[in-house]
Amino acid sequence: MTYTAHPTRYDNMAYRRCGDSGLQLPAITLGWWHNFGDATPLATQRDMLRTAFDAGITHFDLANNYGPPYGSAESNFGAHLRRDLKPYRDQLVISTKAGYDMWPGPYGQGGGSRKYLLASLDKSLQRLGLDYVDIFYSHRYDPD
């Protein structure tokens, strides 16, 4: 069955300015930390995502290590996006983060190096099936 977003989804959600960027974000964001990995049924994830969007939630917050396992929340969100929300991509704000260990070797152990952050962003875009994310930021302070 094809998903069609609720026509009045923006009527009851407050949107606020994000810093000096001019970007308007909803007062509530749906974070994909623990409930959207492979342990949660895809149908449950889809229901939560559709319900959120129908309520005016347009910001979806992810990270490269969300799951479990790591990366699965981005992969699952990407699948739901392609199936249900692709026609609404211009109405969504998708953010993802990097900063924690993700793969073996010196460049996958997290932190804030340019090498790690760019590689993490590339891998996140692949998992999400996107050409860009709206917000990309460091998940934690890097003392180095």
Q: Cite the active site residues.
A: 66
Q: How far is CA 137 from CA 8, 11, 112, 134, in A?
A: 31, 30, 10, 10
Tell me how crowded residue 54 is: count the other CB atoms within 10 A of its CB: 15
Task: For residue 96, count CB atoms less than 10 angstroms from its CB and return exposed for 0-12, middle for 13-18, buried for 19 or more.
Answer: buried
Residue among 16, 3, 98, 104 nearest 53 (CA)? 3
CA distance 21 to 35: 30
CA distance 60 to 73: 11
